[in-house]
Structure 1
Amino acid sequence: MPRTPNEYSVHLLLDSGHREEIRFTTIQEFQKWYSAELVPKSASNDFISVPIRNIQGEYMVVRPSRIIAIRVEPVFNSSIER
């Protein structure tokens, strides 16, 4: 029986060399944000909002044209180091 991830860790690699990690509870939630926010404005230098749900009171904005890579990693509760 395949395991189901508890959440998805999305790593954004920016052209400046910085790396940012954001988390989504489902892959569909990530796909919705990606297709609705990021893809239509991929060449834009205008800021878009990046959802940070695991840190209350913080937000992040990024220029879509500065994102050069995205890595999506499933996270399982059993694989979290304690």
Structure 2
Amino acid sequence: MPRKPDEYVVFILLSTGHREEVRFNSIQEFQKWYSGEFIPKANDDTFISVPIKNLQGEYMVLRPNCVAAIRVEPVFGGSVERY
């Protein structure tokens, strides 16, 4: 039986060399933000909001045309299964 990730870490690599890390609870949540917010404005120079759910009271905005790459990594929590 395949394991289900507890969350997804999204690494946003900017053209300036900086790397930002954002966490999503599900891949569908990331896909909704990516296709609904990021893709329609991919070539724009205006700021878009990036959801940060794990840091209370903080937010991030970025210019979509400055994003060089996005990497999505599943994170599995819990302990190692022992038999």
TM-score range with shorter-chain normalisation?
over 0.9
Query: 1:25-63 deviations in whole A, cap 9, x for unaligned?
Result: 000000000000000000000000000000010000000
Map of 1:62 onto structure 2: 62
* SS of residue matched to 2:35: helix
**Can you give the 5+ residue segments of structure 1 that lack an aligned partner in the other structure?**
none
Secondary structure of residue in 2 paired with 1:28? helix
Whole-angstrom CA distance in 1 between matches of 2:15 and 2:55: 24
Note if 1:51 corresponds to 2:51.
Answer: yes
Instruction: Tell me by how many angstroms 1:78 deviates.
Output: 3.2
Instruction: Extract unaligned runs of 5+ from structure 2.
Output: none
- Identify the range of structure 1 (45-54 vs 70-79) with the bigger mean alpha-carbon deviation: 70-79
1:10 and 2:6 equivalent? no
**Scaled by the length of structure 2, what TM-score is found?**
0.93
SS of alignment partner, residue 78 of structure 1: coil
RMSD after superposition: 0.9
Runs of 4 or more above 2 Å deviation: none
Given the two structures, how large is their TM-score scaled by the length of structure 1?
0.94
Quote the sequence identity (%). Answer: 66
Which AA in structure 2 matches 1:8?
Y
AA of the residue aligned to 1:54 = N
Match of 1:71 in 2: 71
User: Is the radius of gyration larger for structure 1 or structure 2?
Assistant: 2
